[in-house]
Each structure stands twice: as structure tokens, then as C-alpha cells.
């Protein structure tokens, strides 16, 4: 089932209109879950960090022993060609994907070079500025590398995220604040997390239990360039209860204010607004270089 509208799919060397079938019942990815993806965004005429997202999907494939078949540069060119089929005023979710076609050893290990690839473009609106969510705790935790392929953006990791999110929604919250194996805060069920206290921005240190996102790194760089102190460190749930502001960071919506964590309430404060303003300014300046050249005039 598709999430967005006006879907276009790149598969087997060309663009197709619609949500076309790309995987067979006997594909390794269908029955053993060897799928990876990444997500970039097109909005307001720009595709921030598109090259970084395309490069990461290749690294994710390698982490799952899937052979990448499309270079970063070629992937970027394919995406830009596909975006020409969407109106300039629409926001588009850009999802390149790999999966293994065949298994080697005992059918379990993906066979080298037997790779499926597709790109899906879906029109999904950006959230309005200031649209907030709420957080609660969950008993489910982020795995470690010894347990799961946490160094990849892999489909097989998402059932764990789904049960975190479903539990939070059942309790009336929008998302879950998730711990790592040691009980320290790692991220939310769907995005990286930041907190603000006394004008300093804090975020969980990247310790290998969660994917330290491309948008997360961009926020850190933008804030530091603007003179804001950003600290990557070990954080507990009590740190978030003492925070002045909390916000989520992810490719889908870029910045999402948090208004509540269990019984702790936050304002939509100046730092959260600053982070969003800095990102939009960057996206329309340095982040927009050469991005509109391939876009339609209307």
C-alpha cells in the first residue's frame, strides 16, 4: 500500500507511471527480508543532500551483503530525471531501494551480483512549520550490531520500530523515545532526537545502535556554523524531562517539535524554530546548488 500520491517508479532501466510491481515471490528480498532503502526529499525546488542519501543506500546494501549496481552519480541523475514528471510546487519523497534476487550459501547469504533495484517517487506533503508530536517510553530497545544490521537503513529493522510506534499510539502519544541496550536514549521510533537546555543543544552520541541521520548531521553543522553549542553525549530519560525544548530530526519532515514527553510539557521554543530556519536557509543556498537545473519550468 502506497503512502503518497502520484507515484512514479524507476525499474529495469526506465521510468514508469504508478506503483509498479518490482519483486517476485521467490526473490531473496521477498522471503528473507534482504531489502534496503533510503529517503531523500524534493520540496520548494530543492533536493537537499540528495547525493548523500544515494551514497548511503549503496553502503546499506553492502552491509546486507547485497551488491550495489548503481553509482551515486547515476542514481542522482535518474532521480532528477524522474522529478521532471512532478509539478514544481509538490513535495516528493525520493526512495531508492535494493534487494537481493537470489541466495547463495544454503539460500541464506545473498548471491553476489544478483541485485534488484528501483526508485520510487511519491508526492507526500511536508509538515507545516510548528506541527508538533508527543513522546512516551517503550519497553522495546534499539539493537546492537551483534544482533542486527544497525549500520544499514534496512527494511528488516522496521518491525521493531513499528511495535514501538504502535505501543505509543495505543497510549495516546505520537511517537516513542527509545533506549539502547544500556538504557540510554538513542532516538525516537522514527527519527533522531535533540534536546535543548540553557541555550545548548544536546543529542545522543552516535554509538552504533541507531542510524545517525544525514539530516541530523546537517542540523549539527548548521547550528555550529551559527555559533550554537551542540553536544553529542550520553543522555538518559531524566535529561529529557529537564529539557527546555525537544525536537525530532528526520528526512521526511526535517524538524518536528515535541510538545510533551509523558507528563513533561515543552514549548515550541526559539531553538527549534532556529533549527528549521537554518535548514531552510541552507537548503535554498548551498544545499540547492545545481538542483533546479533539471526541473520543469512549471
CATH number of the domain that residue 107 is part of? 3.30.470.10
pLDDT of 48-72, one tens digit each? 999 999 999 999 999 999 999 999 9
Per-residue pLDDT, 214: 97
Provide the number of structural domains found in the chain.
Answer: 2
User: Domain limits at 279?
Assistant: 133-283
* Residues 101, 187 share a domain: no
| 201 within domain boundaries | yes
**Residue 137: beta bridge partners?**
177
pLDDT of 257-276, one tens digit each? 999 999 999 999 999 999 99
Q: Which of 94, 123, 152 is the last residue of a domain?
A: 123
| 279 within domain boundaries | yes
- Measured CA distances, 243 to 146, 198, 207, 238, 249 (Å): 32, 8, 22, 9, 16
Name the burial class of residue 290, with classes exposed (0-12), middle (13-18) and buried (19+) by CB atoms within 10 angstroms of its CB: exposed
| 290 within domain boundaries | no
* Residues 241, 107 share a domain: no
The residue-averaged pLDDT of 33-43 equals 97
**Angle subtended by helix axes 214-225 and 270-283, to nearest 10:** 100
Distance CA 99, CA 97 (A): 7
Distance CA 52, CA 120 (A): 17
* Residues 153, 204 share a domain: yes
Q: What's the pTM value of the predicted model, to 2 decimals? A: 0.93
| 56 within domain boundaries | yes
* Residues 169, 38 share a domain: no
Per-residue pLDDT, 9: 98
Amino acid at each position: 500500500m502506497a503512502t503518497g500520491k502520484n507515484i512514479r517508479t524507476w525499474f529495469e532501466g526506465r521510468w514508469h507511471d504508478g506503483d509498479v510491481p518490482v519483486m517476485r515471490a521467490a526473490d531473496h528480498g521477498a522471503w528473507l527480508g534482504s531489502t534496503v532503502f533510503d529517503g531523500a526529499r524534493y520540496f520548494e525546488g530543492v533536493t537537499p543532500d540528495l547525493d548523500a542519501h544515494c551514497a548511503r543506500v549503496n553502503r546499506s546494501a553492502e552491509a546486507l551483503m547485497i551488491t550495489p549496481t548503481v553509482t551515486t552519480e547515476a542514481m542522482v541523475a535518474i532521480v532528477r530525471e524522474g522529478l521532471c514528471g512532478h509539478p514544481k510546487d509538490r513535495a516528493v519523497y525520493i526512495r531508492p531501494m535494493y534487494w537481493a534476487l537470489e541466495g547463495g550459501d544454503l539460500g541464506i547469504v545473498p548471491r553476489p551480483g544478483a541485485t534488484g533495484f528501483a526508485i520510487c517517487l511519491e508526492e507526500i506533503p511536508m509538515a507545516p512549520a510548528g506541527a508538533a508530536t508527543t513522546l512516551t517510553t517503550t519497553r522495546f530497545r534499539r539493537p546492537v550490531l551483534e544482533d542486527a544490521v544497525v549500520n544499514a537503513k534496512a527494511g528488516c529493522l522496521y518491525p521493531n520500530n513499528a511495535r514501538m510506534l504502535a505501543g505509543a499510539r495505543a497510549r495516546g502519544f505520537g511517537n516513542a523515545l527509545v533506549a539502547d541496550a544500556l538504557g540510554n536514549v538513542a532516538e525516537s521510533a522514527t527519527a533522531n532526537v535533540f534536546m535543548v537546555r540553557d541555550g545548548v543543544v544536546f543529542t545522543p552520541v552516535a554509538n552504533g545502535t541507531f542510524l545517525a541521520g544525514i539530516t541530523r548531521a546537517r542540523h549539527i553543522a548548521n547550528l555550529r556554523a551559527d555559533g550554537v553549542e551542540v553536544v553529542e553525549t550520553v543522555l538518559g530519560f531524566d535529561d529529557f524531562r529537564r529539557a527546555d525544548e525537544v525536537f525530532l530530526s528526520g528526512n521526511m519532515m526535517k524538524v518536528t517539535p515535541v510538545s510533551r514527553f509523558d507528563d513533561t510539557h515543552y514549548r515550541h521554543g526559539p531553538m527549534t524554530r532556529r533549527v528549521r530556519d537554518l535548514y531552510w536557509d541552507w537548503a535554498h543556498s548551498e544545499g540547492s546548488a545545481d538542483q533546479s537545473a533539471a526541473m520543469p519550468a512549471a
